[in-house]
Chains A and B, each alone.
Chain A
């Protein structure tokens, strides 16, 4: 069991890392691979172009019939814009007749709601199969060692799929609503996008069909394929297939959004240049994809956690409480595991945004969107607080945890200090009188926290602290017996102290470097944090060999504060996801497709922070209302008669041997 059985922890962690690698490695390496492929492709295209031109010259007596356009983004090896045959119509200059609206709300807001709701649900249904894949895998692996737990894992995965199945239909319905909103309210824009992405949209629809087919076989074949060992493995393989199709689906849909933000594969007039891969694989495609996969995992973990937390608080029997307490833990484990690398994926995305258009980067980080990033910083701080609060409270129910609980307050102090640095704005909102009292626009002390050197340092220390907290949680009920226990503890201590020293040193050093070099320091800082995560966890788990237990985790005794922290995390994830989506989308300002299709609608304005905040809150509340309905619908099929707990001290199933 997670948190109880050391082998399961190791398997689970390994599974997560492998799953992560399965998604991340292609994304991270695709640039390098793409460059090689690109070189061959450019060569082939140029050769083909020359052939066609030569043929045309012969056939048409020197008159070329095919028009060649220059790509707005792609360049050849000499740095000149890549040429391609014009294969589409120019981007329309949209007028009044290209936009429709209802009286009761601006079209943009309606589209925003439709889009965001579909994205929330899409995110959830893409995340759940990842969890199920992992949980089912652990269940199969632990069947011989612990059949009771194996059955528990299997039941959990099955329950999650049940909820996901209802959510899947809901997602499809919301997708339909989104499509109709585009067609009816933004017909001119949608016509252009459909012209460019016509084949992608059909492939997308077919992939949806494939996803549905695999999903239904996976869910409805669960019981039939459960008993036979071979069939069970086949069933688990179906979840891998399901995830692969889901990922392709998401990447295809991502290509529309990334094309709108940073187009490629078209000329300056917006004419398609014949290569659909260029249109799909625009510069932000990979970072957005990786960022969304991680975001989906975190979001899905948050929702499953909140679902379990609700059931935990309303559970009637001790067994139920123990079960849902454990589910909360699994969900939080997955969410936090996704949360830790998420900021790094965000950095990659921002780097690509800056590389595409410096203006866009400045608008995001220093310009009109900068205050939304401050709000983002607050929300991320809340996530770390919530995660740590959950771990602290969770630790207190583990026998033997008193050895480590005394460090919690120092970790909280460190988190607060880092958070103070993390969210101190460079430009402070103040009255003229306050400005004069301060002696300038920057405060001589806290003003130093306004730049990226301080922020990177703060966030890396916060992540490192959370990792430390998790390691202490893992070993809370264990009496370490390995002969090298002292050496191991020294190594863990040295790793953390060394990491903190290195992160702080690099942060301070950044103040003495030019900005372009300072930005590069984030790489060793991140590497330090990740080294701490992987090396610390590896040593910690290795030390559990032959360890004695002070007692099992008392599932079902989690405090209410710790449980409410899960709700905080789930709502924060939802709000934050909406916020970052809005920022990414709104940075196009008055363009539907950056520098190609101008937004000439009456809604082409940037919202005030307050208005944006209200919309985000509405979307969050709306989606959570739907989630409650979906969970309720999902629970209708599985209503069980509540059995009265037997008298005496109940023994939760997780603790039965």
Chain B
């Protein structure tokens, strides 16, 4: 039997067996270090390599390229979880395709070998392949066209700026704050010596934990419905909002921002965002209408204390002598 055909069968049949029989075993409700989908994928790759090596199949370059490309597709489409958005999937697949191309074109010999079956198909030496390709291509193009023009009722995607540039100053309760130089007046412990303390127990012992406790109280009275009791953006109302409330645990949110930035965002809420951030599509109220200035600062203090992040600071060396 043709070795290339065996190699192809090893891939296709193996994929079928692995996906339907083994994949469910590796996706239990309680994910472990061994029983998880990524270990499953590595096992499948190992199976492919070992089988091809043991049987000395040496598939042609074009087929190897197909396997490599197919593995990428399978990983991004079925293994990676939760499913990634379409735009990201396309991006990843373009990259993987470029990688596959680099793999086959790494030297003239492999590239020539890769082209050989394609050329033979085009010139008609592989008659059956030519018929299949020439029949399948118009069908695929037609199907893609149909899919493109078929009306879709999904909301359109939007390019929204999550962290817009703040204004130079913001006016809250009649007072103007320059954002670059304003600090949290309640951050009395610069070293974060109490980051492992429990707020309510230490509240009476030192000033810093007293403010944190007060901030926590305000947070749970006002903010946790959306931002979550673990500050991970998964509050009880979070699933009905688009965009979803910010996840403060994520290193890409408050960990990257100055406290003054948060002060501006919390005070002005969704309606106070600049146009680039589509102020009409944020549900956060302007908290300056509900909280006092000190309360806003204390909530911010609590958010940093709880998540363990430290507010962003910027060096000032560049602004003196140029």
Contacts and interface: CB of A to CB of B under 8 A. Distances in A.
Interface string B82-100: 1111111001100110110
B138 interface: no
A354 B314 contact: yes
A427 B108 contact: no
B318 A355 contact: yes
Contacts of B246: 441
B180 interface: yes
Contacts of A370: 161
Nearest to B309: A514
A436 B165 CA distance: 27
Contacts of B91: 423
A280 to B, nearest CB: 10
Contacts of B109: 396
Given A416-B95, A436-B239, A441-B247, A393 B105 contact: yes
A564 to B, nearest CB: 9
A426 B253 CA distance: 10
Contact of B244 (A392, A428, A434, A441): A441
B322 A431 contact: no
A157 B139 CA distance: 55
Contacts of A356: 318-319
Tell me whether chain A's interface is mostly helix, strand or loop, or mixed: helix
B309 A415 contact: no
Contacts of B107: 392-393, 395-396, 405, 408, 559
A429 B83 contact: no
Interface stretch (B52-60, B142-150, B152-160, B206-214): B152-160
Contact of A430 (B86, B96, B98): B86
Interface in A418-445: 419-420, 423-445
B7 interface: no
A415 B100 CA distance: 12
Interface stretch (A172-180, A324-332, A357-365): A357-365
B251 A511 contact: yes
Contacts of A408: 106-107
A85 to B, nearest CB: 19
B168 interface: yes
A233 interface: no
B193 interface: no
A79 interface: yes
B180 A283 contact: no
B84 A446 contact: yes
A396 B106 contact: yes
Given A393-B106, A431-B154, A515-B255, A34 B322 contact: yes
B243 interface: yes
Contact of A437 (B83, B168, B316): B83
B155 A431 contact: yes
A462 B247 CA distance: 30
Contacts of B314: 354-355, 358, 516
Contacts of A381: 95
Given A355-B318, A408-B106, A516-B313, A433 B251 contact: no
A416 B99 contact: yes
Nearest to A423: B91
B209 to A, nearest CB: 19
Contacts of A424: 88
Interface string A265-307: 0000000000000100111010000000000000000000000
A370 to B, nearest CB: 7
Contact of B252 (A74, A282, A371, A426): A426
Interface residues of B, number: 70
Contact of B234 (A278, A282, A405, A440): A440
A19 interface: no
Contact of A371 (B159, B164, B255, B309): B159
A366 B251 CA distance: 14
A359 B257 CA distance: 11
Contact of B85 (A278, A357, A428, A517): A428
A166 B178 CA distance: 53
A417 to B, nearest CB: 9
Contacts of B276: 367-368
Given A358-B180, A442-B250, A451-B251, A412 B106 contact: yes
B315 A355 contact: yes
A626 B249 CA distance: 52
B256 interface: yes
Contact of B87 (A35, A285, A412, A430): A430
A453 interface: yes
A204 B242 CA distance: 54
B165 A362 contact: yes
Q: Count chain A CB atoms within 10 A of each CB in B98, B162, B318 and give the residue with the most.
A: B318
Contact of A355 (B86, B243, B247, B319): B319
Contacts, number: 212
Contacts of A371: 159
Interface residues of A, number: 84
A191 interface: no
A436 B109 CA distance: 47
A439 B82 contact: yes
B312 interface: yes
Given A73-B319, A355-B314, A420-B92, A389 B105 contact: yes
Contacts of A285: 322
A371 B309 CA distance: 26
B87 A429 contact: yes
B161 A367 contact: yes
Interface in B149-197: 154-168, 179-180
Nearest to B256: A515
Nearest to A441: B244
B84 to A, nearest CB: 6
Given A366-B162, A396-B108, A559-B111, A409 B244 contact: no
Interface string A252-271: 00000000000010000000
Contacts of A423: 91, 95
Contact of A385 (B102, B163, B256): B102
B19 interface: no
B270 interface: no
Contacts of A355: 314-319
B159 A442 contact: no
Contact of B258 (A283, A358, A415, A425): A358
Contacts of B310: 514-517
A441 B243 contact: yes
B320 interface: yes
Contacts of A560: 108
Contacts of B98: 385, 416
B92 A409 contact: no
Contact of A447 (B102, B155, B250): B250
B103 interface: yes
Contact of A367 (B95, B164, B168, B311): B164
B321 interface: yes
A587 to B, nearest CB: 9
Given A278-B322, A358-B166, A511-B251, 7 more contacts: A73-B319, A283-B319, A358-B179, A392-B102, A429-B158, A430-B157, A441-B233
Interface of B: 80-88, 91-92, 95-96, 98-99, 102-103, 105-109, 111, 154-168, 179-180, 233-234, 239, 242-244, 246-247, 250-252, 255-258, 276, 309-322
Interface of A: 31, 34-35, 38, 73-75, 79, 264, 278, 281-283, 285, 351-352, 354-360, 362-363, 366-368, 370-371, 381, 385, 388-389, 392-393, 395-396, 405, 408-409, 412-413, 415-416, 419-420, 423-447, 450-451, 453, 511, 514-517, 559-561, 609
Complex A-B, nearest 3 residue pairs according to Cβ-Cβ distance, in ascending order = A355-B318, A514-B310, A396-B107
